[in-house]
Amino acid sequence: MTTHRPVPLAQVSDFEIRLLKLFRSVVECGGFSAAESVLGIGRSAISQQMSDLEQRLGLRLCQRGRAGFALTEEGREVYQSTQQLLAALESFRTEVNGLHQHLRGELNIGLTDNLVTVPHMRITHALARLKERGPEVRIHIRMTPPSEVEQGVLDGRLHIGVVPQAGALSGLEYQSLYDERSLLYCAVGHPLFYVDDRELEDARLDAQDAIAPTFRLPPEIQSHYQQLNCTASASDREGMAFLILTGRYIGYLPDHYAAAWVQQGRLRALKPGTRYYDLSLASVTRKGRRPHLVLESFLEALAASG
């Protein structure tokens, strides 16, 4: 009669590691019953998992029954090997976690223009925390239109971007950061600059030359531009500001961005009680991206700055 020997264990998976941790607890507790409260599972479940481990190892690890719990010779050797394995895993985890304390590499971030004046300053604060945590990290910022930011994240040129949230593109993940309010402005020299809002009729306002953005916006915000007489366009907010400051156009700008010109008396908001919209700004990363410690650290700092 031919005796079939167990096939040696080819690899140790997460499942085997969980079983080995259970085995260690049983040994250190001195038996199944004593291990119940430590493991938080019943004796029958412990017995079943021990049987699974013995089957996977092809070894009898312990005696159990009326005579009590006792390790076999193989069980004692497996216990010693288990101690070494779990200690090595803990050492590995500690060393890898230590890498987070000494971040190296670079962060390529793409930003929609003129976010630096946002009062929340979440991006600024997150960058500061990242640099504090990893002094050797190299940060590269690109200021580009939203569509180019999203494309840069998709093709891997950028690790992360911040854009107006106008509907998710396939392959990207969006996380809302904050909202900004945009008002309708004109500049000194424009015919409406000194007109009282109470005397300014919507028909006259809508007849003025206005600027439309060429970047994506949600449909509910696009409606604000559709009622205007848009005879010019711009790919970003700075381009819109250039045209508004000519005194020949009206256009929407984020209130935090326009604030300095308003204080200087160069811009004024037109009918701010009704002519405004709120836009959500979001961070954008690529789905299924490879692990990247610098990026993950920046995302953690961004979340903490909320």
Residue 292 confidence (pLDDT): 84
The reported pTM is 0.61
CA distance 175 to 102: 27
CA distance 102 to 96: 10
Q: What is the mean pLDDT of residues 141-146?
A: 85
Closest CA to 254 of 109, 112, 110: 112
pLDDT of 90 strictly over 80? no
Closest CA to 146 of 123, 126, 166, 174: 166
Greater confidence (69 vs 12) lies with 69
pLDDT confidence tier of residue 192, bands split at 50, 70 and 90: very high
Residue 249 confidence (pLDDT): 98
Residue 89 confidence (pLDDT): 82
Q: What is the mean pLDDT of residues 46-75?
A: 87
* Tokens 């961005």, residue located: 257
Beta bridge partners of 63: 70
Instruction: Output the 3-class SS for 56-107.
Output: HHCCCCEECCCCCCEECHHHHHHHHHHHHHHHHHHHHHHHHHHHHHHCCCEE
The proportion of the chain whose per-residue pLDDT surpasses 90, expressed as a percent, equals 39
Residue 43 confidence (pLDDT): 87
CA distance 56 to 7: 9
Cβ-contact 178, 120 below 8 angstroms: yes
Give the pair of three-digit tokens for residue 35: 């291990």
Greater confidence (243 vs 150) lies with 243
pLDDT of 159 strictly over 70? yes
pLDDT of 184 strictly over 90? yes
pLDDT confidence tier of residue 101, bands split at 50, 70 and 90: low
Residue 14 confidence (pLDDT): 82
Residue 241 confidence (pLDDT): 95
pLDDT confidence tier of residue 250, bands split at 50, 70 and 90: very high
pLDDT of 115 strictly over 90? no
pLDDT of 167 strictly over 80? no
pLDDT of 1 strictly over 70? no
pLDDT of 6 strictly over 70? no
Cβ-contact 58, 9 below 8 angstroms: yes
Digit-coded pLDDT (tens) for 207-234? 999 999 988 888 899 999 999 999 999 9
Residue 31 confidence (pLDDT): 87
Rounded to the nearest integer, the mean pLDDT of the chain is 87
Q: What is the mean pLDDT of residues 173-195?
A: 93
